[in-house]
Structure formats: structure tokens, C-alpha cells
Amino acid sequence: MTLQLGVLISGRGSNLQAILDAIAAGTLDARVRLVVANRPDAAGLTRAKAAGITTAVVEHKAFGDRTTFEHALVALLTRASCDWIVLAGFMRILTREFLSAFPERVVNIHPSLLPAFPGLDAQAQALAYGVHVTGCTVHLVDEGVDHGPILAQTTLEVEPADTRDILAGRLLEKEHALLIATLAAIASDRLSIEPAATGDARPTARWRGAPPRV
Amino acid sequence: MTLQLGVLISGRGSNLQAILDAIAAGTLDARVRLVVANRPDAAGLTRAKAAGITTAVVEHKAFGDRTTFEHALVALLTRASCDWIVLAGFMRILTREFLSAFPERVVNIHPSLLPAFPGLDAQAQALAYGVHVTGCTVHLVDEGVDHGPILAQTTLEVEPADTRDILAGRLLEKEHALLIATLAAIASDRLSIEPAATGDARPTARWRGAPPRV
């Protein structure tokens, strides 16, 4: 089925661009119904407008609390008929207020092999730790920071020449490919999400065939 | 140079066996001077004796405190002229008392891509989390749990059929290969350790050429 995507951004939106490019190339059966930024200066808004996508700015600073901010986001995304939400460099933690509106349908991409290096600047964290292998992770969002069930992961070897920015750039290519491959698998029913069996368990990603190697 | 190894074990000592096999096969320039177990029933003691290696049992329970236990270990290992110490399934945390006797010369192998899944049963932790990729790590030991500077890492994809024991078995083969490759690189001077530049920094592993892929 064609995914009806809402994409949340805070910055340049390079993962949004990857989605738009994949849709244009026919490799992803999806439509971006709405792009929402929580900052009016998010450069990704320009990309979205250039592609003829409806955009909105919902400044978290303008809301008195997290709950009303998230209610505003939900209202916009549901009115636009979004059924899957992609966090593409969206730098706000989402709570149950938001997540319960899209149960097990909020996806995030993170530039590390989670659970290693959650949070800000995972690339710098990985370099500082001195790992030999890092990667990126596409996962369902839950209330933890970069914590939800893993949908797909891919690895990248750290090279001696890697600075933070070189590594981030190399990871970004992997992020784009892994995010597109994962969304395409959801759209074509090769990846499905089984709800948690019990209250303690987490939902499980079920792949038909092997997860993507990118 | 030929590494003079002291190997500490708590259990069956399969990594000890891998070391002994690699020495016998001529792929590792080392000599195991002493194997110490902290449990008299550690099955690895039998392997060591079968290979003609001197063994000792130092039961941590027999010592009033950690310091005297570690002093006894250091006394045995230094008397046996060990210059590198390998923790091969050794299930006790070591403190500064021990580590200061062998600065940056205590090596551990851990069945995860650290810093993910430190501590006990990393394989079960990885399965429970639902990662798609895990691996193993050879690192220098510091006072944290599975925390010291990384010397080498290798990855392993988790398969749908993996149970805890299947995954542990598949990782064990990787552990053996990575540990031997790392020790061989130290012996042949392809891997050297640079001490920490400042008090805050960690020592750094410097590879001449690429780290091993196993």
C-alpha cells in the first residue's frame, strides 16, 4: 500500500530529501502528505516546498507545555491523513501524547548501532569512545531516547582518517539507504510490526526475507 | 617479541584453548606462562594441564577482601614472568590494585559490540533488545565493567533462528579468531598502545595496517 507519510524535521532534512528522491525514482511507494518543522529556519522546509509538499511550522517554544505542542502536531498530521510518521532529524522527544495517536507507526533513524550512543551527536560519541564499528539504526519510536524496537541496522567501519564530520557524512549515506529500504519494505509488506505480546515486551519487527543490507 | 601470557579463567576456558591451539599452530608468537582460575572447578584448568601449562587456583572467597585477592594474583603472575594478561571468561571485576601491576597490558574479550551490552550474558541481552547486528570486542581492561579502550571489533548478524545458545556459539568462533588476531598483532608490533595523553583521555590502540576482519 502507498504509505501516507508525515515527516518531522528540525534541520536541513537530508533524510526527507532521500524520501522525496526515492518516491520520484519509483523505489518507494509513498506520498509525503505533510512536512512539519519545529523551527521556522529549518532548511528542510525549502526542500519540501520545492517538491510541492505542504509544510507547517509548529514551534515548541510557542506552546506552554509539551502536551499542547504535541496535540498541535497530532492535529496537523491527522488532518493531512498521515498514517506513518518519520522523524528525519527531529530534535524533540515525543511522549505518549503524540505516540498514542500513531501506535507503532512512528519511525526514527539514528546514526549509531543502538543501543550504543543514543542521544545527541552519536557520531562524535562513537569517535570519542574509539569503536572500530558503528552504523545506523531505523527503529520505532517509544518514550525512551532512541530506544524503541529496532527495524533495521547497518554497520560502517570507522577509518583512521574519520573526523566527526567525515564519519557523519559517510553515515548519512547509509542512513538514507537504510531508511528508504525500511520504508519500502513496510509499503510492500515485507516488514510488519507485531504488537507487544505482554505489557513488558516490546513490539517486534518481522521481516519476510532478509532485512536490507545497505 | 614472544608474548609471555598469564591467562585468567573462571570456566571452561575455550578462549584459552584457542590461544593454546594458535601457539601450537605457529600463528601466535606467545607462551602461556600461567593459567589462574578463581574457582577450583573451572574446566579450563584441565585444558591447561593437558597442554603442560602451570596452573593455579586463587579462590576469591578465601580472601577477606578484594585487595588481598588481587595482590595474590599479581604475585603469582609476576613470579611467572607474565607480561600480558588475558581475561578469558574471568568473571571477577579487577581494580586498580591489579591493573596498576600490568598497566595497559590486561586484555579482555567480550561477546558484544561494546559499549552495547556490557556485563553478564551479553548474548541474551542482545537478543532481548532485538538488535540486528551484534559482534565481539577485544579491549584493554580498566576499572569499568567491559569499558576499557577498544583494540578490535568484529560484527555478526543476528539470524531469525538464533536462540541465546546458538548466538553464543556463533559468537564464540568470532571471539576466538578476534582474540588470536589481536594478540598476534601485539606480538608482531602491528598493534601498539599509546598511553593516554591527559588524565581524562583513554589510551589509544594504533594499528599499522587495517585491524583484523574475522
Where residue B104 falls (left for φ over 0; alpha for ψ -120 to 50; beta otherwise) is left
Instruction: List the grid coordinates of B23.
Output: 601457539
**CA pair distance B204, A158, nearest whole angstrom:** 14
C-alpha cell at A190: 515485507
Cis peptide before A115 (omega within 30 of 0): yes
Domains by residue range for chain A, with CATH: 1-102 (3.40.50.170), 108-209 (3.40.50.170)
Using CA coordinates, name the residue in chain B closest to A113.
B133
Each residue's pLDDT tens digit in chain A (214 positions)?
A: 899 999 999 999 999 999 999 999 999 999 999 999 999 999 999 999 999 999 999 998 888 889 999 999 999 999 999 999 999 989 888 999 999 999 999 999 999 999 999 999 999 999 999 999 999 999 999 988 898 999 999 999 999 999 999 999 999 999 999 999 999 999 999 999 988 877 777 888 999 988 888 8
Residue A206 is placed in which grid cell? Answer: 518481522
- Per-position b or e across A27-63, b if 16+ CB within 10 A of its CB: ebebebbbbbbbbeebebbebbeebebebbebebeeb
Chain A residues in contact with B152 by the CB 8 A cut-off are 132
- Separation between Cα atoms, residue B106 and residue B148, nearest integer Å: 10
The C-alpha cell of B6 is what? Answer: 598469564
State residue B204's pLDDT score.
87
- Cα dihedral: B80, B148, B170, A201 (round 10): 140
Interface contact A133-B117, CB threshold 8 A: no
Give me the pLDDT at residue A210, please: 86
Backbone angles phi, psi at B184, to 5 degrees: -65, -35
Q: Establish whether A110 is a catalytic residue.
A: yes
The confidence score (pLDDT) of residue B196 equals 81
CB-CB under 8 Å, B116 with A113: yes
The chain A residues in contact with chain B (CB within 8 A) are 113-117, 129-133, 135, 149-150, 152-155, 160, 202, 204-205, 207, 211
Ranges of chain B whose pLDDT falls below 50: none
Q: Which of B129, B135, B149 sits opposite A133 (nearest CB)?
A: B135
**Could A211 and B132 be called an inter-chain contact, meaning their C-beta atoms sit closer than 8 Å?**
yes
Residues A126, B174, B101, B76: what is their CA dihedral angle, to the nearest 10 degrees? 160
